[in-house]
Amino acid sequence: MTINIVAVCSQTLPQAYEIHTQVTHSAWQYSTFADATTAPYSTRIALANEKVAGYAQILMVVDEATLMDIAVEPSLQGQGIGRLLLKDVISHSADAGMAVIWLEVRKSNLAAIYLYEQHGFVVQEVRKQYYPAADGREDALIMSLTL
């Protein structure tokens, strides 16, 4: 399977949002998701056979990037698409002159934490009870990567 990482467009935005609603515990409204495709945000998508396989949304302000959201179509998870998107986020942020990338991740999302650590992200702090969860609330790990 060939994966191409490109900027989102009006034709691919609905597919990316559909993935968002499938994998996110508390999905954003479509308007909020769409707003994160305009400056100072940047939305990158992974295309596989002309279909959106995943996306990453980045906020870039001054010299700091924040990875706001990253997700892969559930049926395609575990095939390296998330890794390709993360590598693209890092290079896209570096090319834009960012000095650091920040992100937050659910403490229970061990696969994502492992992926981030493999790419040099380190935990900076824990936000207690940050995310809504099925059984209450869940901690968030705040991680960063200096570029």
Name the catalytic one among 116, 125, 131, 138: 116
Name the catalytic one among 17, 104, 131, 138: 104
Domain ranges of the chain: 3-146
DSSP-derived secondary structure for 61-114: ETTEEEEEEEEE-GGGTTSSHHHHHHHHHHHHHHHTT-SEEEEEEETT-HHHHH
Joined together, the tokens standing for residue 67 give 């990875």
CATH tag for 3-146 (out of 3.40.980.10, 3.40.630.30, 3.40.50.1970, 3.40.50.300): 3.40.630.30
Q: Residue 118 phi/psi, 5° resolution?
A: -60, -25
Which one is predicted more confidently, 42 or 129?
Answer: 42
Catalytic-residue membership of 104 = yes
Which one is predicted more confidently, 16 or 25?
Answer: 16
Q: What is the pLDDT of residue 134?
A: 77
Q: What would the pLDDT profile of 100-147 be if each residue is shown by its tens digit?
A: 999 999 999 999 999 999 999 999 999 998 887 778 899 899 999 999
Average pLDDT over residues 12-39: 93
Catalytic-residue membership of 116 = yes
